[in-house]
Structure 1
Amino acid sequence: MSSKFVSRPLAARFSRAVLSAAVLSLSLSFVPGVGQVQARELPDFTELVERVGPAVVNIRTSERLRSGMNGSPEVDEQMQEFLRRFGIPLPNQRRGSPRGGGNGNNGAEDDQPQRRGVGSGFILSADGYVMTNAHVVQGADDVWVTLTDKREFKAKVIGADRRTDVAVLKIEASALPAVKIADISRLKVGEWVMAIGSPFGFDNTVTAGIVSAKARDTGDFLPFIQTDVAINPGNSGGPLLNMRGEVVGINSQIYSQSGGFMGISFAIPIDEAIRVSDQLRGSGRVVRGFIGVAPDDLSKDVAEAIGLGKPTGALIRSVTAGGAADKAGVEGGDVITKFDGKLIEKASDLRRVVAGLKPGSKAVVQVFRRGAYKDLTIAIAEMPDDGSARRASGDSQEGKPASGAAALGLQVSEIPDAQKRELKLRSGVRVDAASGVAARAGLREGDLILAVDNTDVSSVKQFQGLMSKAEKAKTINLLVRRDEVVSFILLKPAAK
């Protein structure tokens, strides 16, 4: 029998089968409850929005432009930060109160140009504590919180931790709707989550998606939650919620090549954020452990070459002279494999474990050195303050603009005596961070500043005093040592 006679009845039977299936499908669509069963398999967020929505707030900030802030190079830096983190105050020249209209005050502040920013947040407790991102309120002179019932409150920044990007605000109100905090250990990859925030200023916008990954390394101190929830500028600081209406994270970052949402967003795990917020509410700052090392990830080739086998552990690139690790006997080239009983898989693990320890406590560290393991005991020191903490009322600096070294983007600390002896230095301070004017002038972390305008620097306190006096000058002359080379670096405050 030829193939053409076989194919016709098969084709006819296939056509009848397809037609029957189509008729069955069409008939089932009219059976009560079938379509409803399928619909119930998809999440319904309406109840969650009604229940949690009132606890989500809109945050507006304003910053009075300082003398010399003409906008050119600084605007570029701000826009880069805006694209990376969104919610940072945007530069513009509108006048008036944070809502855009006059506030009835004809004082000098009302006539100053303002930078405006918008972000999100959520109410932690009924007595008015609000959580948001640190970068939402960073540099703000005034912070305003608007509730869903349109009430608006001027907020006080209780504390902000730039390292984890967590901030706590306080508004004078009571009996407020507060969020519930989730058990983050129950969060699973693939489960539905929802975000509420103010993207582009559109208050109480709801978006949804799934958890794409957990413990995603994008920073030194936090393993982020990755989602595909649509997050855009203004969502910063808003809550990420599970289907039980509990907060699992704070929306903080996006990955983007265009500045807009591209399907990858990151949230700070709420358990980490609560630990930070507890310290901020208690003292206005976060205290972390510190041992004074520069760790790096270990490659497979290096691990095999040194006899470790697997590329696990944190390779110590350098050790701060006179620091906690140096005193304990840690050396450059060591691989830290355990710290305080916890396995160290990579450099970020070491940073997080050490940061979580209480300064003054002791910990046993296991190092792999020249083919053998060795246990050392380290007395944990305190991590230097990055200068980002805003303290509660009663701090004489609350609400005041940055001045001196901070205004120029400089954060410094004392040089350990052992390092001074090693480098044969009589005085100086160490640069811990450089941004803004200082970074553009060429300063960077690790530089040693020996003199300001031909005056030797003896301490951090004296350096701050010298910088405060010199800030009004057109140019500040710094004598800087980097490695074995000493040079002059000129700061121009007018370039702020």
Structure 2
Amino acid sequence: MEPIAAFRSQIVTTADGAEPIGRLTQGGTVSTPTPPYEPLTYERQVQYANHEQGSKKQRRRRGGAGIIVGAGVVALIAGAAGGAVGYTAAKSQAPGLTIASSTAASTSVAAAGSIAAVAAAVQPAVVQLNVGNGEAGGTGSGFVISDDGYIVTNNHVTGAGGEIEVTFSDGKTATGKLVGANPGYDIAVVKVDRTGLATVPLGESAALLVGDTVIAVGSPLGLQGTVTTGIVSALNRPVTAGGEGETAFINAIQTDAAINPGNSGGPLVNGAGAVIGVNSAIASMATGAGQPGSIGLGFAIPIDVVKRITNELIKTGTSKTPIVGVQLNMTFEGPGAKVAEVTAGGPAAAAGLRVDDIVTKVNGSLITDPTSMIVTVRSFAPGDTVELTVTRDGEAFTVPVTLEASKAKE
């Protein structure tokens, strides 16, 4: 895995081989500068919150620091190694720890509107995904959105391929089939051949406020049905995550709810029990070894974007990414995103954008660097018209741009 672009300079390659904002390029790369966030005293890393599980024989360990996004596909969790150690810790009792079983029957009833009540309502729809690929495998999470078996998870949970085993909250299992995925958004849909399944309602991420209570449900380290709580720490946080040729650009919900390896693909729900995000990535201290855990910096994909992507995947097996039709100067220190090239015949060309124009806002949202422009544009859909605030030769103006669908393979 590679270090998250939002936290330090790096070179990343888009999932579709295209520049994420505009034109298709052969082997195109995007260099993402350090954003204007205040630096922390530790080396920042964003990682997929995957739990890489042991195989029947021996787990394949992978090196490298970086993104540990939350769900479980080995091909995308190179930086999430922790291997058999993490798996053993999740499955075994800690040394010296004694767990006493109670013989008394539980009669507790969750108060209406409490976190306990929300958890009880959501948990039946949350699943664990065990993805196998030869000698290696991984564990992630997902949630059921239709009673006939459609499940939402992360692309990095399913991306490496292999058999998908879905475990439900009642312990029953089913074989899952990958319906489709969009690596650029880190979203995938899996289908199981079952009916009458419990589902979880989908909310609206646009209604979120910083400070709102949120609840994460999933299978961190293989511990199915784990519930953690926190608040919305920030909104529209530019996050890039990915590896091995697949990069996701996320206009993320940041939360301090504990998200750990194995939580990837699980739901982040609001106080009403509606999904407002899909847990995808965590930031962790660089320890140099072992599998990182939560330090209160988790990131989820907003559900408003997820709904569009999943609907397209279910209908067609593919989904498209909106583009402006420009290449950006990724070495420009900002503020703003500087245009390096305008694609002939594209949306930006039609709107009159030129090389060296600096985009400072998209629909009123401040653009601090190229990454923030990419993730902001990707929060819209192809066909949407957005208003760009542009500076040219020291003069600011606004121009409407109608986004097109990327012609690159998603």
**Structure-1-length-normalised TM-score:** 0.52
> Quick check: 1:318 aligned with 2:351?
no
Q: Which amino acid aligns with 1:186?
A: A
Following superposition, the deviation at residue 229 of structure 1 comes to 1.3
Q: Which residue, out of 130, 138, 142, partners 1:60? A: 130
- Paired residue total: 285
> CA deviation digits over 1:363-389, x for unaligned, max 9?
7766432244567776754324355xx
Q: Which residue, out of 227, 233, 238, partners 1:206? A: 227
Give the corresponding residue for 1:155. Answer: 176
Distance 2:342 2:232 in 1: 38
Contact kept, 8 Å, 1:63 with 1:115, in 2: the verdict is yes
Q: Secondary structure at the residue paired with 1:218?
A: strand
226 and 373 in structure 1: CA distance in 2 versus 1, 3 angstrom threshold: closer
Q: Larger relative contact order (C-alpha < 8 A, sep ≥ 6)?
A: 2
Distance 2:186 2:294 in 1: 20
Distance 1:206 1:129 in 2: 22
Q: Which amino acid aligns with 1:189?
A: V
Q: Secondary structure at the residue paired with 1:52?
A: helix
Q: Secondary structure at the residue paired with 1:225?
A: strand
> CA deviation digits over 1:225-280, x for unaligned, max 9?
11111111111111112222111211111100242221211111111111111111
> CA deviation digits over 1:3-30, x for unaligned, max 9?
xxxxxxxxxxxxxxxxxxxxxxxxxxxx
- What are the residue-to-residue correspondences of 1:67-216 with 2, within 5 Å? 114-216=135-237
Q: Which amino acid aligns with 1:177?
A: A
Distance 1:186 1:353 in 2: 17
Contact kept, 8 Å, 1:191 with 1:211, in 2: the verdict is yes
Unaligned runs of 5+ in 2: 1-109, 241-247
Q: Which residue, out of 382, 391, 395, partners 1:358? A: 382
Q: Which residue, out of 323, 335, 356, partners 2:358? A: 335
Give the corresponding residue for 1:230. Answer: 258
The sequence identity of aligned pairs, in percent, is: 36
> Quick check: 1:252 aligned with 2:280?
yes
Q: Secondary structure at the residue paired with 1:255?
A: strand
Distance 2:396 2:139 in 1: 52
Contact kept, 8 Å, 1:298 with 1:315, in 2: the verdict is no
Distance 1:156 1:238 in 2: 18
Following superposition, the deviation at residue 119 of structure 1 comes to 0.4
Q: Which amino acid aligns with 1:369?
A: R
Q: Which runs of 4+ in 1 moved over 4 A?
A: 296-300, 320-324, 326-329, 352-355, 361-366, 373-381
Q: Secondary structure at the residue paired with 1:181?
A: coil
319 and 115 in structure 1: CA distance in 2 versus 1, 3 angstrom threshold: same
292 and 56 in structure 1: CA distance in 2 versus 1, 3 angstrom threshold: same
Q: Which residue, out of 302, 317, 321, partners 1:269? A: 302
Q: Which residue, out of 36, 39, 45, partners 2:115? A: 45
Give the corresponding residue for 1:280. Answer: 313
Contact kept, 8 Å, 1:344 with 1:350, in 2: the verdict is no
Compare the two structures and name the one with the higher helix fraction: 1
Q: Secondary structure at the residue paired with 2:366?
A: coil
Q: Which amino acid aligns with 1:55?
A: A
Deviates more, 1:268-277 or 1:288-297: 288-297
Q: Secondary structure at the residue paired with 1:249?
A: strand
Q: RMSD of aligned C-alpha atoms?
A: 3.1
Q: Secondary structure at the residue paired with 1:48?
A: helix
**Structure-2-length-normalised TM-score:** 0.61
Following superposition, the deviation at residue 358 of structure 1 comes to 2.8
Distance 2:156 2:400 in 1: 37
> CA deviation digits over 1:48-72, x for unaligned, max 9?
22221111101011113xxxxxxxx
Following superposition, the deviation at residue 190 of structure 1 comes to 2.2
